[in-house]
């Protein structure tokens, strides 16, 4: 059972064939604001942000399938992030919410973008917090997300660190290894030396991740192309592979809700030099055999997101990019005052 902060409650919501765990703040009414977490985490990461949301807004946070308290349904990676987006739409329907403000962090940013692309009428506004690139994670180059290899080599389930996966599976809560969930949280989710409040709860949340071919990291396909792995058909990382997850046509959406993009300036996960990108690790010499920057440069994740959002704005939408200095991958934890001020300005209860 996940430990919750005072003032937050959890309940199960039927969403199609799934039972989805949803956090709420009892007694809060107004326009719904739905928070969607990232990979290897859960709704628990949003509790402080939920409690700090201004009056007149109704905070909710969902656990995606295979995370937190939601059923561990398998992920069909051939649909990209649509399994998650469809689950989110089903939760909104079950709660009789016809549209909502959506806040998506990391992989959750891709989930809410997928929902916007497929069902724009459900989205009143969109807040992207250090979101995954619209071209997925790994295996692309350039602002337009050109595939480095037609099969998506360098992305998918094989890109996960096996030692980190093992420690997740074994529910390691220690600090003994740089690849323990706790140390990954403190080294990469946040910018060191910051230590977030309720670290033990956040580690517990990370350990709620279901492990395996159907979940995290997913199944692995092999290829002769560097670095030897390509996306499989199941699981989390394959759903974010560039051959499955492409959201570069957001400019076609109608209507176009406003978008706020918040990111930490020193994010090591979603970056133009991400330490989780095999091409960047190859450039650093950490993955042998790197073919070189001419064909396999690091994925320019921020550049890609900005290019897609610029096209969205040119087609009649609007977005703002807010960069928080001295901040890593979790602005809602590391810079809560700045994060909440940005939300309050973007999501007025009167809207």
- Per residue in 98-132, pLDDT (tens digit) is 999 999 999 999 999 999 999 999 999 999 999 99
Mean of the pLDDT values across residues 201-205?
97
Nearest to 156, CA basis, from 254, 53, 248, 225: 225
List the one residue out of 33, 34, 28 whose CA is nearest residue 62. 34
For residue 72, is pLDDT > 80? yes
Residue 351 lies in a domain: no
> Phi/psi at 159 (nearest 5 deg)?
-85, -10
Average pLDDT, the chain: 97
Residue pair 234/213 in contact (Cβ under 8 Å)? The answer is yes
Taking a C-beta distance cutoff of 8 angstroms, is the pair 60, 102 a contact? no
Does residue 223 sit within a domain? yes
Q: What is the reported pLDDT for 348?
A: 77
CB atoms within 10 A of CB 116: 23
Instruction: Decide if 3 is inside a domain.
Output: no
What's the structural domain count of the chain? 1
Is 87 inside a domain boundary?
A: yes
Q: Please indicate, yes or no, if residue 1 is contained in any of the structural domains.
A: no
Burial class of 5 by CB neighbour count within 10 A (0 to 12, 13 to 18, 19+)? middle
Mean local confidence (pLDDT), 144-172: 97
Contact 123, 100 (CB under 8 A): yes
Q: What is the pLDDT at residue 351?
A: 46
For residues 44-76, one letter each, b for 16 or more C-beta atoms within 10 angstroms of the residue's C-beta and e for the rest, the string is: bbbbbbbeebeeebbbbbbbbbbbbbbbbbbbb
- Per-residue H/E/C for the chain: CCCCCCCCEEEEEEECCEEEEEEECCCCCCEEEEEECCCCCCHHHHHHHHHHCCCCEEEEEECCCCCCCCCCCCCEHHHCCHHHHHHHHHHHHHCCCCCEEEEEECHHHHHHHHHHHHCHHHEEEEEEECCCCCCCCCCEECCCCEECCCCCCCCCHHHCCHHHHHHHHCCCCCCCCCCCHHHHHHHHHCCCCCCCCCHHHHHHHHCCCCEECCCEECCEEECCCCCCEEECCECHHHHCCCCCCCCCCHHHCCCCCCEEEEEECCCCCCCCCCCCCHHHHHHHCCCCCCCCCCCCCCCCHHHHHHHHHHHHHHCCCCEEEEEECCCCCCHHHHCHHHHHHHHHHHCCCCC
Confidence at residue 69, expressed as pLDDT on a 0 to 100 scale: 96
pLDDT, average across residues 225-252: 97
- Say if residue 58's pLDDT is above 70: yes
pLDDT value of position 18: 94
| pLDDT tens for each residue of 261-320 | 999 999 999 999 999 999 999 999 999 999 999 999 999 999 999 999 999 999 999 999
The residue-averaged pLDDT of 187-206 equals 97
Query: What pLDDT score was predicted for residue 16?
Result: 87
4 within some domain:
no
CATH number, residue 306: 3.40.50.1820
Cβ within 8 Å of residue 1, ≥6 positions away: none
Full residue range of the structural domain in which residue 256 is found: 9-346
The model carries a pTM of 0.97
Distance CA 247, CA 113 (A): 7
Query: In this prediction, what percent of the chain has a pLDDT beyond 90?
Result: 97
- With a cut of 80, say whether residue 193 has pLDDT above it: yes
List pLDDT tens digits, range 320-350. 999 999 999 999 999 999 999 999 999 976 5
148 pLDDT higher than 60: yes
């Amino acid at each position: 059972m996940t430990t919750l902060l005072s003032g937050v409650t959890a309940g199960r919501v039927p969403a199609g064939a799934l039972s989805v765990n949803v956090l709420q703040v009892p007694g809060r009414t107004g326009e719904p604001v739905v928070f969607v977490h990232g990979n290897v985490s859960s709704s628990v990461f949003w509790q402080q942000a939920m409690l700090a949301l201004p009056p007149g807004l109704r905070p909710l946070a969902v656990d995606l399938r295979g995370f937190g308290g939601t059923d561990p349904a398998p992920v069909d990676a051939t649909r990209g992030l649509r399994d998650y987006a469809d689950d989110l739409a089903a939760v909104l329907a079950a709660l009789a919410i016809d549209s909502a403000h959506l806040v998506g962090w990391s992989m959750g940013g891709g989930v809410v973008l997928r929902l916007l692309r497929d069902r724009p009428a459900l989205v009143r506004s969109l807040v992207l917090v250090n979101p995954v690139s619209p071209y997925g994670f790994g295996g692309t180059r350039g602002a337009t997300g050109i595939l480095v290899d037609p099969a998506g080599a360098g992305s998918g389930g094989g890109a996960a660190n096996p030692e980190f996966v093992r420690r997740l599976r074994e529910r390691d809560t220690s600090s003994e290894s740089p690849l323990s969930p706790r140390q990954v949280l403190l080294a990469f989710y946040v910018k060191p030396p910051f230590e977030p409040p309720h670290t033990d709860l956040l580690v517990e949340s990370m350990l709620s991740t279901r492990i395996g071919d159907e979940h995290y990291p997913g199944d692995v396909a092999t290829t002769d192309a560097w670095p030897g792995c390509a996306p499989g058909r199941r699981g989390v990382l394959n759903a974010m592979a560039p051959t499955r997850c492409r959201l570069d046509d957001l400019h076609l959406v109608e209507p176009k809700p406003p978008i706020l993009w918040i990111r930490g300036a020193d994010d090591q996960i979603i970056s133009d030099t991400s330490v989780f990108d095999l091409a960047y690790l190859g450039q650093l010499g950490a993955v042998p055999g790197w073919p070189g920057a001419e064909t396999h440069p690091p994925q320019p994740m921020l550049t890609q997101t900005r290019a897609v959002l610029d096209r969205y704005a040119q087609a009649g939408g609007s977005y703002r990019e807010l960069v928080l200095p001295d901040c890593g991958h979790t602005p809602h934890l590391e810079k809560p005052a700045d994060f909440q001020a940005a939300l309050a300005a973007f999501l007025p209860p009167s809207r």
